[in-house]
Chain A
Protein backbone atom coordinates (compact mmCIF):
# COMPACT_ATOMS: atom_id res chain seq x y z
CA UNK A 1 0.00 0.00 0.00
CA UNK A 2 1.39 3.45 -0.87
CA UNK A 3 2.73 5.48 2.02
CA UNK A 4 0.25 8.33 1.52
CA UNK A 5 -2.74 5.98 1.90
CA UNK A 6 -1.37 4.53 5.12
CA UNK A 7 -0.97 7.99 6.56
CA UNK A 8 -4.48 8.94 5.50
CA UNK A 9 -5.94 5.86 7.14
CA UNK A 10 -4.19 6.74 10.41
CA UNK A 11 -5.37 10.32 10.09
CA UNK A 12 -8.97 9.35 9.56
CA UNK A 13 -8.92 6.95 12.49
CA UNK A 14 -7.61 9.81 14.70
CA UNK A 15 -10.39 12.05 13.43
CA UNK A 16 -12.92 9.32 14.08
CA UNK A 17 -11.56 8.92 17.62
CA UNK A 18 -11.89 12.65 18.22
CA UNK A 19 -15.50 12.61 17.08
CA UNK A 20 -16.32 9.55 19.20
CA UNK A 21 -14.86 11.32 22.24
CA UNK A 22 -16.94 14.39 21.48
CA UNK A 23 -20.16 12.41 21.14
CA UNK A 24 -19.43 10.53 24.37
CA UNK A 25 -18.81 13.69 26.34
CA UNK A 26 -21.96 15.30 24.95
CA UNK A 27 -24.06 12.26 25.83
CA UNK A 28 -22.69 12.24 29.40
CA UNK A 29 -23.51 15.94 29.86
CA UNK A 30 -26.96 15.54 28.37
CA UNK A 31 -27.69 12.54 30.60
CA UNK A 32 -26.66 14.58 33.64
CA UNK A 33 -29.22 17.26 32.78
CA UNK A 34 -31.91 14.69 32.05
CA UNK A 35 -31.32 13.03 35.43
CA UNK A 36 -31.74 16.41 37.11
CA UNK A 37 -35.07 17.16 35.46
CA UNK A 38 -36.35 13.63 35.86
CA UNK A 39 -35.49 13.59 39.56
CA UNK A 40 -37.26 16.89 40.13
CA UNK A 41 -40.37 15.71 38.27
CA UNK A 42 -40.55 12.46 40.21
CA UNK A 43 -40.03 13.96 43.67
CA UNK A 44 -41.81 17.24 43.27
CA UNK A 45 -44.81 18.01 45.40
CA UNK A 46 -46.64 21.21 44.45
CA UNK A 47 -48.02 21.46 47.99
CA UNK A 48 -44.52 21.62 49.43
CA UNK A 49 -43.50 24.11 46.76
CA UNK A 50 -46.41 26.43 47.56
CA UNK A 51 -45.92 26.04 51.33
CA UNK A 52 -42.37 27.26 51.04
CA UNK A 53 -43.04 30.12 48.67
CA UNK A 54 -43.17 32.73 51.50
CA UNK A 55 -39.57 31.90 52.51
CA UNK A 56 -38.44 32.15 48.91
CA UNK A 57 -40.48 35.31 48.47
CA UNK A 58 -38.55 36.91 51.31
CA UNK A 59 -35.27 36.02 49.60
CA UNK A 60 -36.54 37.58 46.38
CA UNK A 61 -37.59 40.69 48.27
CA UNK A 62 -34.21 41.02 49.98
CA UNK A 63 -32.17 40.49 46.80
CA UNK A 64 -34.37 42.83 44.77
CA UNK A 65 -34.05 45.52 47.43
CA UNK A 66 -30.26 45.14 47.58
CA UNK A 67 -29.96 45.21 43.79
CA UNK A 68 -32.11 48.34 43.60
CA UNK A 69 -29.86 49.98 46.20
CA UNK A 70 -26.84 48.92 44.16
CA UNK A 71 -28.28 50.33 40.95
CA UNK A 72 -27.29 54.03 41.32
CA UNK A 73 -23.78 53.13 42.40
CA UNK A 74 -23.37 50.72 39.48
CA UNK A 75 -24.58 53.47 37.12
CA UNK A 76 -22.08 55.89 38.68
CA UNK A 77 -19.17 53.46 38.35
CA UNK A 78 -20.09 52.74 34.72
CA UNK A 79 -20.41 56.46 33.99
CA UNK A 80 -17.02 57.09 35.55
CA UNK A 81 -15.47 54.33 33.48
CA UNK A 82 -16.96 55.61 30.25
CA UNK A 83 -16.19 59.26 30.88
CA UNK A 84 -12.58 58.57 31.79
CA UNK A 85 -12.00 55.57 29.53
CA UNK A 86 -8.96 57.24 27.93
CA UNK A 87 -7.07 57.67 31.18
CA UNK A 88 -4.34 55.20 32.05
CA UNK A 89 -5.90 54.07 35.30
CA UNK A 90 -9.14 52.76 33.75
CA UNK A 91 -7.82 49.48 32.28
CA UNK A 92 -6.47 48.71 35.76
CA UNK A 93 -9.84 49.60 37.24
CA UNK A 94 -11.54 47.24 34.79
CA UNK A 95 -9.15 44.44 35.73
CA UNK A 96 -9.82 45.14 39.42
CA UNK A 97 -13.57 44.83 38.82
CA UNK A 98 -13.04 41.62 36.92
CA UNK A 99 -11.04 40.13 39.79
CA UNK A 100 -13.56 41.27 42.32
CA UNK A 101 -16.48 39.74 40.46
CA UNK A 102 -14.62 36.48 40.04
CA UNK A 103 -13.77 36.19 43.74
CA UNK A 104 -15.30 32.98 45.08
CA UNK A 105 -18.69 33.47 46.71
CA UNK A 106 -17.56 31.71 49.86
CA UNK A 107 -14.99 34.44 50.55
CA UNK A 108 -17.60 37.13 50.11
CA UNK A 109 -19.96 35.28 52.42
CA UNK A 110 -17.34 34.89 55.14
CA UNK A 111 -16.31 38.56 54.97
CA UNK A 112 -19.83 39.85 55.36
CA UNK A 113 -21.13 37.30 57.79
CA UNK A 114 -18.36 36.59 60.26
CA UNK A 115 -16.67 39.97 60.14
CA UNK A 116 -19.83 41.98 60.61
CA UNK A 117 -21.25 39.78 63.37
CA UNK A 118 -23.92 38.17 61.23
CA UNK A 119 -26.43 40.98 61.40
CA UNK A 120 -29.18 41.69 58.92
CA UNK A 121 -27.28 44.83 57.91
CA UNK A 122 -24.21 42.78 57.03
CA UNK A 123 -26.27 40.56 54.76
CA UNK A 124 -27.74 43.54 52.93
CA UNK A 125 -24.38 45.35 52.71
CA UNK A 126 -22.78 42.21 51.29
CA UNK A 127 -25.50 41.81 48.71
CA UNK A 128 -25.31 45.49 47.74
CA UNK A 129 -21.55 45.32 47.24
CA UNK A 130 -21.82 42.16 45.20
CA UNK A 131 -24.68 43.47 43.04
CA UNK A 132 -22.84 46.77 42.45
CA UNK A 133 -19.67 45.14 41.20
CA UNK A 134 -21.53 42.53 39.22
CA UNK A 135 -23.74 45.09 37.45
CA UNK A 136 -20.98 47.60 36.76
CA UNK A 137 -18.65 44.91 35.44
CA UNK A 138 -21.33 43.79 32.98
CA UNK A 139 -22.13 47.34 31.90
CA UNK A 140 -18.48 48.23 31.52
CA UNK A 141 -18.13 45.15 29.33
CA UNK A 142 -20.92 46.19 26.98
CA UNK A 143 -19.84 49.83 27.03
CA UNK A 144 -16.38 48.83 25.83
CA UNK A 145 -17.94 47.96 22.49
CA UNK A 146 -18.58 51.62 21.66
CA UNK A 147 -16.03 52.90 19.23
CA UNK A 148 -13.72 55.72 20.14
CA UNK A 149 -14.38 57.29 16.73
CA UNK A 150 -18.06 57.85 17.56
CA UNK A 151 -17.19 59.58 20.82
CA UNK A 152 -14.57 61.76 19.17
CA UNK A 153 -16.91 62.79 16.33
CA UNK A 154 -19.58 63.82 18.83
CA UNK A 155 -17.01 65.70 20.88
CA UNK A 156 -15.84 67.56 17.78
CA UNK A 157 -19.44 68.61 17.16
CA UNK A 158 -19.37 70.32 20.56
CA UNK A 159 -21.55 67.98 22.64
CA UNK A 160 -20.78 67.81 26.36
CA UNK A 161 -19.67 64.56 28.02
CA UNK A 162 -22.96 63.67 29.77
CA UNK A 163 -24.91 64.27 26.54
CA UNK A 164 -22.54 62.00 24.62
CA UNK A 165 -22.85 59.30 27.26
CA UNK A 166 -26.65 59.58 27.22
CA UNK A 167 -26.88 59.25 23.44
CA UNK A 168 -24.21 56.63 22.88
CA UNK A 169 -24.69 54.45 25.91
CA UNK A 170 -27.89 54.94 27.85
CA UNK A 171 -30.32 55.31 24.95
CA UNK A 172 -28.71 52.63 22.86
CA UNK A 173 -28.47 50.01 25.57
CA UNK A 174 -31.48 50.89 27.69
CA UNK A 175 -33.31 47.59 27.14
CA UNK A 176 -30.13 45.62 27.64
CA UNK A 177 -29.50 47.38 30.94
CA UNK A 178 -32.83 46.14 32.24
CA UNK A 179 -32.08 42.58 31.14
CA UNK A 180 -28.69 42.79 32.81
CA UNK A 181 -30.26 44.02 36.01
CA UNK A 182 -32.77 41.16 36.07
CA UNK A 183 -30.06 38.68 35.24
CA UNK A 184 -27.94 39.86 38.17
CA UNK A 185 -30.96 39.66 40.47
CA UNK A 186 -31.58 36.06 39.45
CA UNK A 187 -27.85 35.32 39.78
CA UNK A 188 -27.85 36.60 43.34
CA UNK A 189 -30.97 34.62 44.12
CA UNK A 190 -29.66 31.38 42.74
CA UNK A 191 -26.07 31.53 43.79
CA UNK A 192 -25.62 33.85 46.70
CA UNK A 193 -28.77 33.60 48.77
CA UNK A 194 -28.45 29.92 49.68
CA UNK A 195 -24.80 30.42 50.63
CA UNK A 196 -25.55 33.47 52.74
CA UNK A 197 -28.56 31.85 54.37
CA UNK A 198 -26.73 28.69 55.22
CA UNK A 199 -23.86 30.52 56.82
CA UNK A 200 -25.94 32.98 58.70
CA UNK A 201 -25.99 32.76 62.49
CA UNK A 202 -28.31 35.67 63.24
CA UNK A 203 -31.79 34.74 64.47
CA UNK A 204 -33.42 37.81 62.93
CA UNK A 205 -32.13 36.83 59.49
CA UNK A 206 -33.05 33.22 60.09
CA UNK A 207 -36.61 34.20 60.91
CA UNK A 208 -36.82 36.59 58.02
CA UNK A 209 -35.59 34.16 55.39
CA UNK A 210 -37.13 30.99 56.85
CA UNK A 211 -33.71 29.43 57.27
CA UNK A 212 -35.30 26.20 58.45
CA UNK A 213 -36.43 25.62 54.93
CA UNK A 214 -32.88 25.77 53.62
CA UNK A 215 -31.25 23.80 56.40
CA UNK A 216 -33.78 21.01 56.41
CA UNK A 217 -33.76 20.39 52.69
CA UNK A 218 -31.50 17.38 52.96
CA UNK A 219 -33.98 15.58 55.18
CA UNK A 220 -36.95 15.99 52.91
CA UNK A 221 -36.94 14.85 49.30
CA UNK A 222 -40.04 16.88 48.41
CA UNK A 223 -38.61 20.09 49.83
CA UNK A 224 -35.32 19.52 48.07
CA UNK A 225 -37.03 18.91 44.75
CA UNK A 226 -39.20 22.00 45.10
CA UNK A 227 -36.18 24.16 45.92
CA UNK A 228 -34.29 22.67 42.98
CA UNK A 229 -37.26 23.44 40.73
CA UNK A 230 -37.20 27.04 41.93
CA UNK A 231 -33.51 27.29 41.08
CA UNK A 232 -34.01 25.64 37.69
CA UNK A 233 -36.79 28.13 36.82
CA UNK A 234 -34.57 31.02 37.86
CA UNK A 235 -31.66 29.61 35.90
CA UNK A 236 -33.76 29.27 32.74
CA UNK A 237 -34.97 32.83 33.27
CA UNK A 238 -31.40 34.04 33.63
CA UNK A 239 -30.22 32.09 30.56
CA UNK A 240 -32.98 33.63 28.44
CA UNK A 241 -32.02 37.11 29.64
CA UNK A 242 -28.36 36.51 28.95
CA UNK A 243 -29.21 35.23 25.52
CA UNK A 244 -31.11 38.46 24.83
CA UNK A 245 -28.10 40.53 25.84
CA UNK A 246 -25.64 38.13 24.26
CA UNK A 247 -23.76 37.97 27.53
CA UNK A 248 -22.67 34.66 28.96
CA UNK A 249 -20.75 34.41 32.18
CA UNK A 250 -18.83 31.38 31.13
CA UNK A 251 -15.84 32.03 33.30
CA UNK A 252 -17.59 32.72 36.53
CA UNK A 253 -21.02 31.14 36.19
Chain B
Protein backbone atom coordinates (compact mmCIF):
# COMPACT_ATOMS: atom_id res chain seq x y z
CA UNK B 1 0.00 0.00 0.00
CA UNK B 2 1.09 3.57 -0.58
CA UNK B 3 2.50 5.54 2.38
CA UNK B 4 -0.14 8.21 1.70
CA UNK B 5 -2.85 5.70 2.65
CA UNK B 6 -1.38 5.23 6.13
CA UNK B 7 -1.19 8.97 6.65
CA UNK B 8 -4.84 9.24 5.67
CA UNK B 9 -5.80 6.47 8.14
CA UNK B 10 -3.75 8.18 10.82
CA UNK B 11 -5.54 11.48 10.32
CA UNK B 12 -8.93 9.74 10.26
CA UNK B 13 -8.25 8.02 13.57
CA UNK B 14 -7.09 11.30 15.08
CA UNK B 15 -10.28 13.10 14.06
CA UNK B 16 -12.54 10.26 15.26
CA UNK B 17 -10.89 10.17 18.69
CA UNK B 18 -11.00 13.95 18.89
CA UNK B 19 -14.75 13.89 18.11
CA UNK B 20 -15.30 11.11 20.68
CA UNK B 21 -13.57 13.06 23.44
CA UNK B 22 -15.56 16.15 22.44
CA UNK B 23 -18.83 14.22 22.71
CA UNK B 24 -17.82 12.95 26.13
CA UNK B 25 -16.89 16.46 27.27
CA UNK B 26 -20.23 17.65 25.87
CA UNK B 27 -22.01 15.19 28.14
CA UNK B 28 -19.85 16.43 30.98
CA UNK B 29 -20.77 20.07 30.43
CA UNK B 30 -24.47 19.18 30.15
CA UNK B 31 -24.11 17.35 33.42
CA UNK B 32 -22.46 20.36 35.05
CA UNK B 33 -25.23 22.63 33.76
CA UNK B 34 -27.95 20.46 35.28
CA UNK B 35 -25.83 20.19 38.36
CA UNK B 36 -25.98 23.94 38.92
CA UNK B 37 -29.72 23.81 38.39
CA UNK B 38 -29.93 21.15 41.07
CA UNK B 39 -27.59 23.01 43.38
CA UNK B 40 -29.97 25.97 43.47
CA UNK B 41 -32.41 23.91 45.51
CA UNK B 42 -29.84 22.32 47.71
CA UNK B 43 -29.33 22.57 51.44
CA UNK B 44 -25.67 23.45 51.80
CA UNK B 45 -25.58 22.92 55.55
CA UNK B 46 -26.77 19.32 55.28
CA UNK B 47 -24.39 18.64 52.44
CA UNK B 48 -21.53 20.05 54.48
CA UNK B 49 -22.53 17.79 57.38
CA UNK B 50 -22.70 14.76 55.06
CA UNK B 51 -19.28 15.43 53.59
CA UNK B 52 -17.56 16.33 56.86
CA UNK B 53 -18.90 13.23 58.62
CA UNK B 54 -17.95 11.05 55.66
CA UNK B 55 -14.46 12.48 55.43
CA UNK B 56 -13.79 12.13 59.16
CA UNK B 57 -14.98 8.52 59.15
CA UNK B 58 -12.83 7.79 56.08
CA UNK B 59 -9.79 9.43 57.63
CA UNK B 60 -10.31 7.45 60.82
CA UNK B 61 -10.54 4.18 58.85
CA UNK B 62 -7.33 5.01 56.94
CA UNK B 63 -5.50 5.85 60.16
CA UNK B 64 -6.70 2.64 61.83
CA UNK B 65 -5.60 0.42 58.96
CA UNK B 66 -2.19 2.07 58.50
CA UNK B 67 -0.25 0.11 61.21
CA UNK B 68 -1.88 -3.19 60.23
CA UNK B 69 -1.13 -2.69 56.56
CA UNK B 70 2.42 -1.62 57.31
CA UNK B 71 3.11 -4.72 59.38
CA UNK B 72 1.69 -7.03 56.72
CA UNK B 73 3.62 -5.25 53.94
CA UNK B 74 6.85 -5.52 55.93
CA UNK B 75 6.25 -9.21 56.60
CA UNK B 76 5.65 -9.87 52.91
CA UNK B 77 8.57 -7.78 51.70
CA UNK B 78 11.10 -9.42 54.01
CA UNK B 79 9.96 -12.99 53.40
CA UNK B 80 9.28 -12.73 49.71
CA UNK B 81 11.24 -15.87 48.82
CA UNK B 82 9.08 -18.14 50.95
CA UNK B 83 6.35 -20.07 49.18
CA UNK B 84 3.65 -19.32 51.75
CA UNK B 85 4.24 -15.58 51.40
CA UNK B 86 3.82 -15.87 47.64
CA UNK B 87 0.44 -17.53 48.25
CA UNK B 88 -0.51 -14.83 50.74
CA UNK B 89 0.35 -12.22 48.13
CA UNK B 90 -1.87 -13.93 45.57
CA UNK B 91 -4.71 -14.07 48.08
CA UNK B 92 -4.26 -10.40 48.86
CA UNK B 93 -4.35 -9.53 45.17
CA UNK B 94 -7.56 -11.50 44.80
CA UNK B 95 -8.98 -9.82 47.87
CA UNK B 96 -7.97 -6.30 46.88
CA UNK B 97 -9.99 -6.48 43.69
CA UNK B 98 -13.07 -7.92 45.40
CA UNK B 99 -16.03 -6.07 43.88
CA UNK B 100 -17.70 -3.54 46.09
CA UNK B 101 -21.10 -5.07 45.59
CA UNK B 102 -19.85 -8.42 46.90
CA UNK B 103 -18.15 -6.75 49.80
CA UNK B 104 -21.31 -4.89 50.73
CA UNK B 105 -23.29 -8.10 50.43
CA UNK B 106 -21.12 -9.96 52.89
CA UNK B 107 -20.76 -7.00 55.23
CA UNK B 108 -24.46 -6.26 55.44
CA UNK B 109 -26.15 -9.58 54.77
CA UNK B 110 -23.77 -11.98 56.46
CA UNK B 111 -22.02 -10.11 59.23
CA UNK B 112 -24.67 -7.42 59.65
CA UNK B 113 -27.48 -9.74 60.65
CA UNK B 114 -25.68 -11.58 63.36
CA UNK B 115 -22.51 -9.76 64.33
CA UNK B 116 -23.66 -6.17 64.40
CA UNK B 117 -26.95 -6.89 66.09
CA UNK B 118 -24.99 -8.46 68.95
CA UNK B 119 -22.70 -5.44 69.06
CA UNK B 120 -25.69 -3.12 69.01
CA UNK B 121 -27.40 -4.93 71.86
CA UNK B 122 -24.26 -4.75 73.98
CA UNK B 123 -23.70 -1.14 72.99
CA UNK B 124 -27.28 -0.20 73.90
CA UNK B 125 -26.98 -1.91 77.26
CA UNK B 126 -23.84 0.05 77.98
CA UNK B 127 -24.72 3.48 76.60
CA UNK B 128 -28.49 3.86 76.26
CA UNK B 129 -29.23 4.59 79.91
CA UNK B 130 -27.72 6.21 82.91
CA UNK B 131 -25.41 3.54 84.30
CA UNK B 132 -21.89 3.26 85.69
CA UNK B 133 -20.14 3.65 82.30
CA UNK B 134 -22.13 6.66 81.08
CA UNK B 135 -21.96 8.31 84.49
CA UNK B 136 -18.19 7.81 84.62
CA UNK B 137 -17.83 9.33 81.15
CA UNK B 138 -20.11 12.24 82.07
CA UNK B 139 -18.14 12.74 85.28
CA UNK B 140 -14.87 12.85 83.33
CA UNK B 141 -16.33 15.40 80.89
CA UNK B 142 -17.62 17.52 83.77
CA UNK B 143 -14.24 17.36 85.48
CA UNK B 144 -12.47 18.58 82.37
CA UNK B 145 -14.98 21.06 80.97
CA UNK B 146 -16.74 22.56 84.00
CA UNK B 147 -13.81 24.91 84.85
CA UNK B 148 -14.43 26.51 81.44
CA UNK B 149 -17.74 27.90 82.74
CA UNK B 150 -15.82 30.68 84.48
CA UNK B 151 -15.25 32.18 81.02
CA UNK B 152 -17.42 35.29 80.48
CA UNK B 153 -19.58 33.94 77.62
CA UNK B 154 -20.85 30.97 79.71
CA UNK B 155 -23.98 31.17 81.81
CA UNK B 156 -22.74 31.95 85.30
CA UNK B 157 -25.80 30.30 86.89
CA UNK B 158 -24.87 26.90 85.44
CA UNK B 159 -24.38 24.67 88.49
CA UNK B 160 -22.23 21.56 88.48
CA UNK B 161 -25.32 19.31 88.83
CA UNK B 162 -26.94 20.75 85.72
CA UNK B 163 -23.65 20.52 83.82
CA UNK B 164 -23.26 16.85 84.81
CA UNK B 165 -26.83 16.01 83.70
CA UNK B 166 -26.30 17.75 80.36
CA UNK B 167 -23.04 15.84 79.88
CA UNK B 168 -24.81 12.57 80.70
CA UNK B 169 -27.49 13.25 78.07
CA UNK B 170 -24.82 14.18 75.53
CA UNK B 171 -22.90 10.95 76.22
CA UNK B 172 -26.07 8.88 75.63
CA UNK B 173 -26.90 10.76 72.41
CA UNK B 174 -23.36 10.62 71.12
CA UNK B 175 -23.09 6.88 71.82
CA UNK B 176 -25.79 6.17 69.22
CA UNK B 177 -23.80 7.99 66.55
CA UNK B 178 -20.65 6.29 67.87
CA UNK B 179 -22.09 2.85 67.06
CA UNK B 180 -22.79 3.90 63.47
CA UNK B 181 -19.30 5.36 63.12
CA UNK B 182 -17.80 2.19 64.60
CA UNK B 183 -19.66 -0.06 62.16
CA UNK B 184 -18.72 2.09 59.16
CA UNK B 185 -15.07 2.41 60.19
CA UNK B 186 -14.82 -1.35 60.70
CA UNK B 187 -16.28 -2.00 57.25
CA UNK B 188 -13.98 0.49 55.58
CA UNK B 189 -11.02 -0.90 57.50
CA UNK B 190 -11.66 -4.41 56.14
CA UNK B 191 -12.25 -2.99 52.66
CA UNK B 192 -9.07 -0.95 52.33
CA UNK B 193 -6.65 -3.13 54.28
CA UNK B 194 -5.60 -5.44 51.39
CA UNK B 195 -5.42 -2.48 48.99
CA UNK B 196 -3.23 -0.58 51.40
CA UNK B 197 -0.93 -3.57 51.94
CA UNK B 198 -0.36 -3.93 48.19
CA UNK B 199 0.12 -0.18 47.78
CA UNK B 200 2.77 -0.12 50.51
CA UNK B 201 4.40 -3.27 49.22
CA UNK B 202 4.65 -1.75 45.74
CA UNK B 203 6.13 1.46 47.20
CA UNK B 204 8.77 -0.57 49.02
CA UNK B 205 9.61 -2.52 45.89
CA UNK B 206 9.88 0.63 43.79
CA UNK B 207 12.23 2.30 46.22
CA UNK B 208 14.50 -0.75 46.28
CA UNK B 209 14.59 -0.68 50.06
CA UNK B 210 15.29 -4.39 50.05
CA UNK B 211 18.88 -3.76 48.92
CA UNK B 212 19.42 -1.25 51.72
CA UNK B 213 17.92 -3.79 54.10
CA UNK B 214 20.48 -6.41 53.04
CA UNK B 215 23.32 -3.89 53.36
CA UNK B 216 22.29 -2.85 56.87
CA UNK B 217 22.03 -6.50 57.90
CA UNK B 218 25.43 -7.32 56.44
CA UNK B 219 27.11 -4.54 58.46
CA UNK B 220 25.71 -5.99 61.68
CA UNK B 221 22.38 -4.23 62.11
CA UNK B 222 19.61 -6.05 63.93
CA UNK B 223 16.43 -6.96 61.98
CA UNK B 224 14.51 -4.21 63.76
CA UNK B 225 17.22 -1.63 62.97
CA UNK B 226 17.18 -2.57 59.32
CA UNK B 227 13.38 -2.35 59.17
CA UNK B 228 13.46 0.96 60.99
CA UNK B 229 15.99 2.40 58.56
CA UNK B 230 14.37 1.10 55.39
CA UNK B 231 10.66 0.42 55.66
CA UNK B 232 9.83 2.93 58.39
CA UNK B 233 11.86 5.66 56.73
CA UNK B 234 10.19 5.07 53.40
CA UNK B 235 6.71 4.93 54.96
CA UNK B 236 7.39 8.10 56.94
CA UNK B 237 8.04 9.91 53.67
CA UNK B 238 4.93 8.58 51.98
CA UNK B 239 2.61 8.72 55.02
CA UNK B 240 0.66 11.77 53.82
CA UNK B 241 0.07 10.51 50.31
CA UNK B 242 -1.01 7.06 51.57
CA UNK B 243 -3.42 8.67 53.99
CA UNK B 244 -4.91 11.01 51.36
CA UNK B 245 -5.16 8.22 48.79
CA UNK B 246 -7.00 5.82 51.08
CA UNK B 247 -9.22 8.48 52.58
CA UNK B 248 -10.31 9.15 49.00
CA UNK B 249 -10.85 5.43 48.39
CA UNK B 250 -12.88 5.08 51.58
CA UNK B 251 -14.97 8.14 50.90
CA UNK B 252 -15.68 7.67 47.22
CA UNK B 253 -15.96 3.90 47.06
CA UNK B 254 -16.83 2.70 50.53
CA UNK B 255 -19.17 5.35 51.88
CA UNK B 256 -21.01 5.85 48.64
CA UNK B 257 -21.65 2.13 48.52
CA UNK B 258 -22.95 2.12 52.05
CA UNK B 259 -25.19 4.99 51.10
CA UNK B 260 -26.53 2.98 48.21
CA UNK B 261 -27.66 0.33 50.63
CA UNK B 262 -30.46 2.66 51.51
CA UNK B 263 -31.87 2.14 48.04
CA UNK B 264 -31.79 -1.60 47.80
CA UNK B 265 -30.97 -3.34 51.04
CA UNK B 266 -33.10 -1.85 53.75
CA UNK B 267 -36.56 -2.44 52.39
CA UNK B 268 -38.95 -3.51 55.14
CA UNK B 269 -36.40 -5.68 56.86
CA UNK B 270 -36.72 -5.23 60.64
CA UNK B 271 -33.17 -6.43 61.26
CA UNK B 272 -31.73 -3.92 58.85
CA UNK B 273 -33.98 -1.18 60.19
CA UNK B 274 -32.40 -1.52 63.60
CA UNK B 275 -28.86 -0.64 62.70
CA UNK B 276 -28.94 -0.15 58.97
CA UNK B 277 -31.35 2.76 59.00
CA UNK B 278 -29.17 4.69 61.37
CA UNK B 279 -26.14 3.76 59.28
CA UNK B 280 -27.57 5.22 56.11
CA UNK B 281 -29.45 8.06 57.78
CA UNK B 282 -26.28 10.08 58.24
CA UNK B 283 -25.39 9.73 54.60
CA UNK B 284 -28.71 9.80 52.83
CA UNK B 285 -31.83 10.74 54.73
CA UNK B 286 -30.51 13.94 56.25
CA UNK B 287 -29.22 15.23 52.97
CA UNK B 288 -31.83 14.07 50.50
CA UNK B 289 -35.40 15.24 50.41
CA UNK B 290 -37.51 12.54 48.64
CA UNK B 291 -39.55 15.20 46.82
CA UNK B 292 -36.54 16.62 45.06
CA UNK B 293 -34.36 13.54 45.03
CA UNK B 294 -33.15 13.80 41.42
CA UNK B 295 -31.98 17.40 41.67
CA UNK B 296 -30.43 16.84 45.05
CA UNK B 297 -28.71 13.63 44.02
CA UNK B 298 -27.22 15.41 41.02
CA UNK B 299 -26.05 18.31 43.12
CA UNK B 300 -24.59 15.89 45.62
CA UNK B 301 -22.77 14.03 42.87
CA UNK B 302 -21.46 17.29 41.46
CA UNK B 303 -20.03 18.36 44.78
CA UNK B 304 -18.56 14.88 45.16
CA UNK B 305 -16.97 15.17 41.72
CA UNK B 306 -15.35 18.48 42.64
CA UNK B 307 -14.14 17.00 45.96
CA UNK B 308 -12.80 14.01 44.04
CA UNK B 309 -10.72 16.18 41.70
CA UNK B 310 -9.41 18.20 44.64
CA UNK B 311 -8.30 14.95 46.27
CA UNK B 312 -6.54 13.88 43.09
CA UNK B 313 -4.72 17.22 42.83
CA UNK B 314 -3.53 17.01 46.45
CA UNK B 315 -2.39 13.44 45.85
CA UNK B 316 -0.35 14.41 42.78
CA UNK B 317 1.20 17.31 44.66
CA UNK B 318 2.17 15.06 47.59
CA UNK B 319 3.60 12.38 45.32
CA UNK B 320 5.77 14.93 43.53
CA UNK B 321 6.95 16.32 46.84
CA UNK B 322 7.83 12.83 48.08
CA UNK B 323 9.68 12.01 44.87
CA UNK B 324 11.73 15.21 45.28
CA UNK B 325 12.54 14.47 48.93
CA UNK B 326 13.47 10.89 48.06
CA UNK B 327 15.75 12.03 45.22
CA UNK B 328 17.45 14.57 47.45
CA UNK B 329 18.02 12.01 50.21
Contact = CB atoms under 8 A, between A and B. Distances in A.
A156 interface: no
Given A29-B193, A162-B6, 6 more contacts: A18-B70, A73-B17, A107-B304, A162-B10, A191-B101, A224-B109
A195 interface: yes
B111 A35 contact: yes
A146 interface: no
Interface in A177-233: 190-191, 194-195, 198-199, 214-215, 217-219, 224, 227-228, 231-232
Nearest to A217: B264
Interface string B1-29: 00100100110011011001000100110
Interface stretch (A7-15, A47-55, A58-66, A167-175): A7-15
Interface stretch (B92-100, B152-160, B175-183, B204-212): B92-100
B51 to A, nearest CB: 14
B267 interface: yes
B298 interface: yes
B102 A36 contact: yes
Interface string A144-168: 0000000000000000111100000
A80 B13 contact: yes
B99 A190 contact: yes
Most chain B CB within a 10 A radius of its CB, from A11, A132, A215: A11
B126 interface: no
Contacts of A215: 264
A80 B18 CA distance: 10
Contacts of A110: 297-298, 301
The size class of the interface chain B forms with chain A is 35 or more
B304 A104 contact: yes
B253 interface: yes
A121 interface: no
Contacts of A248: 93, 96-97, 198
B101 A39 contact: no
Nearest to A72: B16
Nearest to B72: A22
B98 A235 contact: yes
A32 B106 contact: yes
A26 interface: yes
A68 interface: no
30 contacts: A11-B222, A11-B225, A25-B69, A25-B71, A25-B72, A26-B88, A29-B194, A32-B190, A36-B110, A39-B109, A73-B20, A83-B10, A102-B312, A106-B304, A111-B28, A115-B27, A115-B30, A115-B31, A115-B298, A198-B260, A198-B263, A199-B263, A218-B266, A218-B269, A224-B109, A227-B105, A228-B102, A235-B97, A248-B198, A253-B99
A219 B106 contact: no
B323 interface: no
A228 to B, nearest CB: 5
B308 interface: yes
Contact of A250 (B96, B224, B305, B312): B96
Nearest to B14: A80
Contacts of A14: 224
A19 interface: yes
Nearest to B245: A251
Contacts of B309: 99
Contacts of B3: 160
B294 A25 contact: no
B98 A253 contact: yes
A235 B100 CA distance: 11
Contact of B199 (A115, A242, A251): A251
Contact of B97 (A73, A77, A249): A249
A26 B106 contact: no
Most chain A CB within a 10 A radius of its CB, from B6, B100, B190, B224: B224
B199 A250 contact: yes
Given A15-B224, A104-B253, A239-B94, A21 B195 contact: no
A15 B298 contact: no
Contacts of A236: 94
Contact of A25 (B68, B99, B263): B68
A12 B221 CA distance: 12
